[in-house]
Chains A and B, each alone.
Chain A
Amino acid sequence: MNSSVMAIILALCEAVRRGTPLLLGTTGEILNEKSGSLNLGVEGTMAVGAITGALLGLSTSNMFLALLGAFVGGMFCGLIYAFLTITLKANQNVTGLAITIFGGGLCMFVGETLKSTGKFPSYTTEFFAEITGGGIPLLKDIPYIGQLLFSYNALVYIAIVIALIVWIYITKTKSGLRMRAAGENPAAADSVGINVDAERYKNIVIGSGIMGLGGVYMALFINNGLWNTDWINGYGWIAVALVIFSNWSSARAIWGSYVFGLLLALKSRMPSLASAFPSVLSWSTAIPTEVFDALPFIVTMLVLIISSMRKNKNTGCPTGLGLNYFREER
C-alpha cells in the first residue's frame, strides 16, 4: 500500500516539476497573445533565457541572479520580436519562427563553444544542493501531503504566483482591459486613445521575460545545469498549444500544464507505477519508451484539432490575434 501510494505521489511530483516550465512558457505566451501577438518564438525565447540564466547562475552560484539573467534574456528576445512586428510591421508568424531558430542557435553556439573550450561553468556543491533541494521547511515533512505539495524548489511556487497575478491583471484590472482591447480590436482600442503599440510592446516584453524563466527552469532543474544540446526539448511548442488548451486563461493554464507535465513524466515514472500496480498497468511495460516521448506531442496535436473544431463564441481567443495594426491602413 505504502509503496503504491508513494509511486503515485512521485509521479505527480514529477508532473509538477515538468509542468512548471510549461506553465511559465504558457503564462508568457498568454500575455503575448492576449495583446494580439501570436509569438511562435517561445522555444527560442526559452532557450535564450536558459543559457543566460544558467551561465549567470552557475558562475555566481546565485539563484536570484540566475532568474534575473533568464528574465532579461527572455525580455531581450521579446524586444526583438516586438521591434520587428510592431515597429517594422513584420509578419508575426515568420518573426516568431525566426526567434525560435535564432534563440536555439544562440543557446547552442554559446553552450557548445564554452563546452568545447572547457569553460562551461560547473555548479558548486551548495548551488547543486539548492537546485536539487528546496521545499518549504517543516511543511514538507508532513507525510505524503508534504511531499506532494511543499517539497518543490522556489520557482515552482513563483510560477504559480506569476500565473495567478497575470490572471488577475488580465481579467480584473483596467490595465488588463486596455491590453485585451489592443488584442481584440486594435482599431477600436486606438480610437478611444489606447496606445496599441505601447500595450503590445509592454506585454510582449514582460511575457517573454516569463518565458525566459521557464527556460532557466529547464536548464537548472530538469537538466541539473549540465550542458545538453537540447535543453528546451520542444517544451516551448507544447506551451503554444497549452495556451489554446487553457482557453487563454493563465489560471486554467496551471492545471493544464500539470496535465501535460504528467504526460511528460510518464516516461520516467511508468516503470515504477507499473510495478506498484501490476494488475492494472502491467501492459505498459510492453510499450517502447519512444511512445511516451511522443505522447505529449500527440496530445498537443489532438488539442489543436479539437479546439479548432469547436465553434464557440466564448473562447478567450483574441479576435485581433496575429494581426499587425496600421492606423492609416485602408
Chain B
Amino acid sequence: MTNVVEIRNLTKTFGEVVANNKVRLDLRQGEILALLGENGSGKTTLMNMLSGIYHPDSGDIFIGGKKVVIHSPEEAKRLGIGMVHQHFKLIDTLTAADNIWMGTEYEPFHLDEKLAFADECNPCDSSDPAELRAQKFRRFKTRLKLRLYALKYKLGAFISGQPLKKSRFDRIDKITRDFGFELDSRKRVCDMAVSEKQTCEIIKVLFYGANILILDEPTAVLTTQEIQKLFATMRRMKERGCSIVIITHKLNEVLEISDRVAIMRKGEYITTVDTKDANEQILTELMVGEKVELHIDRPKTDFDRPLLEIRNLTVKNDEGSVAIDDMSFYIRGGEMLGVAGISGCGQKELCEAIAGLRKIESGEINHKGQSLIGLPPKKIIEMGISMSFIPEDRLGMGLAPSMSITDNMMLKTYSEGKFNPFVNRKKARERAKQLISALNIVTPSTETPVRRLSGGNVQKVLVGREIESSPNVIITAYPVRGLDINSSYAIYDILNEQKKNGVGILFVGEELDVMLALCDKIMVICHGKLMGVVHAEKATKEQLGLMMTGALDLKIENAKPYGIAKDSNITEKEAHDDKNE
C-alpha cells in the first residue's frame, strides 16, 4: 500500500516546551490509523501542523510523495486534508449549510483544464514555419482570451459578492445523502445536538474534497450508540478510499476501529503497530513506556450517614429554562456516587447549585443536617465541600490561565493567616512542587503560566488543588476528561484515597466503563430528571445507555421514588413541608 502522508523529523516548540521532537509518521492509502499517546505527547500539535494551524519549526511533510509546506488551513484544504477538531469549529448562529458554504472557493473556473483543451484544439505541429507561426499565434490568442475570461469571471464574482442562492442547501443535502449521513442543512448549529454538530463537521471536510481525514477525539462527547454510528461512517469512508487518522484515549475504541496504531510519547514518535497484533496491555506499555496495572480499584468502605442530601432540587440554566427538575439524591461518607448523562443534561448546573454558584429555584441541599441554601460559595468551601468542574475547554472554570501554577494554588488558600496582608508564595510554591511530582505534571517550572501547559496537565493542577484543601465532600465533574491512562489512574487513586478517609464523592463522568468499575452507585440524569440510581456492581452499560437517553425510567419501572435516604438528616416534617410547597 502506498503512503499518502509521510511526516519526517517534524519539530515544533512553544516557548520552552517542545511539543513535537523529530516526529515521523506514515499514513497509508485507505486505512484508519489511530494516534495514541498520553496527554501532552503532542498528538494534537502534530495534526494541527498537518492541517496548517501551526507551522512547524523544522522537518518535512510529504503528501502523495511530494514535499509540501503547509502555511494555512486553506492550503491544507487544497491538499485534501480535512480535520475535525476536538472543539468543533462551527459558527453557532449560522445554518449547517452556511457553515460549510462559507469555506468554498469562488465557483471554480478550471482555467488549467480549459487551457489544456484549447491547446489540444490548436495544435502547433506544422512543419511549415509560416504555418507554425500562424498556429502559434492562434494558440496565443485563444489562451489570452481564456485568461481574460477567467479574470472577468473572478472580478464579477468579487464585485457581485456572489449572491447566496437557495441551491446551496441542495448541494449540501446531496453530498449528505451520497455519504449516507443524516443532517438537516437548514438547521442552525446552536439548535443541534453534539452528534449532529460532529456530522456537520465531517460533511464539511468531505464537501471540500478531503481524502485525508483527521478526527481529534471524536468520541469524547458521544454516547455509546452514537460512537457505533460514527465508527460505521468511518468504515464506509475507508471503503471509499479515504485515509483517516483518529486521535482517542479510549483503548477499546482504538482496537475496534483502527488498522494500525501509531504511538507517541512526550513529543516523540515511538512506533507503529498493526492493531491485530496489539492489545490494551501492549498499547499502554508502549504509550507510557513502562508496565502499568490496568485495573480500577473500588475499595470497600463502611458507608456513613448521609453527608450531602439533595431533596426536590430545581435549578434553571443560563437561558432560563429548567436544567435540574425536582431531583433528589444523597451521598454518604465513604461513598462514591457516579452521575451519568449525555453532556448538557444538567450536570453542570447541578454542580454549580451545590457549590453555591447558581441560584436555586426550589428544593433543599443539606450538609450534615445543615441547609446550604443561600450560603455564599466561600462558606460552602469552608464547610468542606469542594467542587472541581472540568469544562470542555478545560480552562473555563477554576484556574486563571495566565497565572502560574503557584499563583493558581494560592487562589483558594490566600486567606490563610487572616491578619497577614501579604501572600505566602513560598508555601504555595512548595505545594505546587508537591503536586507536580505527585501527579507527574509536565511543566518547565512552577512559574509557567497554566495556559502554556497541555490540556491534561492543566487538569491535573485543578483536580490536585481541589483535593489539597482536604474537603469532606468532593464534587468532581469530568476529572479525567481527555486525560491519558496514566494520569487518569493517578486521579482515580487519589479519589479512592479520599473515599477511604470517609469523604463523600460525587463523580460526574463520561465513560460508563470507568464509572461502572469505580463508583459504588450510579445515578442517571436525562434532561434534568433523575432516571434512577443503580448499584454499579449490578448495572450494565446498556441499561445505563437506555436510561441516559430517557428510554428507561427506573422510577416508573419499579414504581418507587429514588434518592431519599432512610436515615435522612432532614426530618420528616421538613421534607413534608418541602413537598407541600
Contacts and interface: CB of A to CB of B under 8 A. Distances in A.
B319 A191 contact: no
A191 B53 contact: yes
Given A173-B161, A175-B161, A185-B90, A194 B102 contact: yes
Interface stretch (A129-137, A176-184, A223-231): A176-184
B281 to A, nearest CB: 33
B74 A311 contact: no
Q: Which residue, of A172, A181, A193, A195, has the highest number of chain B Cβ atoms within 10 A?
A: A193
Interface string B476-507: 00000000000000000000000000000000
A330 B451 contact: yes
Nearest to A169: B161
Contacts of B89: 185, 187-188, 191-192
B104 to A, nearest CB: 8
A194 B101 CA distance: 11
Contacts of A187: 89
B417 interface: no
B91 A195 contact: no
Contacts of B94: 177, 180-181, 184
Contacts of A173: 160-164
A120 B510 CA distance: 73
A176 B161 contact: yes
A154 B319 CA distance: 46
A184 B93 contact: yes
B73 A319 contact: no
B190 interface: yes
Contacts of A290: none
Interface string A149-185: 0000000000000000000010011111110110011
**Which of A172, A181, A195, A330: most chain B CB closer than 10 A?**
A330
A313 B189 CA distance: 12
B335 interface: no
A256 to B, nearest CB: 21
Contacts of B101: 174, 177
Contacts of B85: 191
A189 B161 CA distance: 17
B562 interface: no
Contacts of A192: 73, 77, 89, 100, 102-103, 204, 208
Contact of B93 (A194, A319, A328): A319
A27 to B, nearest CB: 16
B289 interface: no
Identify which of B83, B98, B100 gathers the most chain A CB atoms within 10 Å of its CB: B98
A112 interface: no
A313 B94 CA distance: 12
Given A177-B102, A311-B319, A191 B83 contact: yes
Nearest to B87: A187
Contacts of A311: 318-320
Contacts of B93: 184, 319
B161 A193 contact: no
A69 to B, nearest CB: 24
Interface string B202-244: 0010001000000000000000000000000000000000000
A174 B164 contact: yes
Nearest to B320: A311
B74 A184 contact: no
B14 interface: yes
Residue of A169, A173, A177, A194 ringed by the most chain B CB atoms within 10 A: A177
Contacts of A188: 88-91, 99
Interface size of B as a range: 35 or more
B414 interface: no
A323 to B, nearest CB: 14
A255 B89 CA distance: 36
A182 B451 CA distance: 24
B181 interface: no
Contact of B53 (A172, A175, A327): A327
A219 B90 CA distance: 44
A178 B77 CA distance: 16
A294 B26 CA distance: 69
B169 interface: no
Contacts of B161: 169, 173-176
Contact of A177 (B88, B98, B190): B98
A293 interface: no
A193 B164 contact: no
Contacts of B14: 330
Contacts of A189: 91, 102
Interface hub of A172, A181, A187 (most chain B Cβ within 10 A): A181
A191 B163 contact: no
Contacts of A319: 91-93
B74 A195 contact: yes
B72 interface: yes
Interface in B440-472: 451-452
B62 interface: no
Contact of A175 (B72, B83, B99, B162): B162
Contacts of B452: 330
Nearest to A185: B91
A188 B73 CA distance: 10
B20 to A, nearest CB: 13
A301 B163 CA distance: 37
Nearest to B190: A313
Given A174-B101, A330-B451, A181 B91 contact: yes
Interface string B164-202: 100000000000000000000000001000000000000
Contacts of A190: 53, 72-73
B109 to A, nearest CB: 16
B521 to A, nearest CB: 37
A319 B73 CA distance: 22
Interface of A: 169, 172-178, 180-181, 184-185, 187-195, 311, 313, 319, 327-328, 330
Interface of B: 14, 51, 53-55, 72-74, 77, 83, 85, 88-94, 98-104, 158, 160-164, 190, 204, 208, 318-320, 451-452
9 contacts: A173-B161, A174-B101, A177-B94, A185-B91, A188-B89, A189-B102, A190-B53, A193-B72, A194-B102
Given A193-B103, A311-B319, 6 more contacts: A173-B163, A175-B158, A192-B102, A193-B74, A193-B208, A330-B451
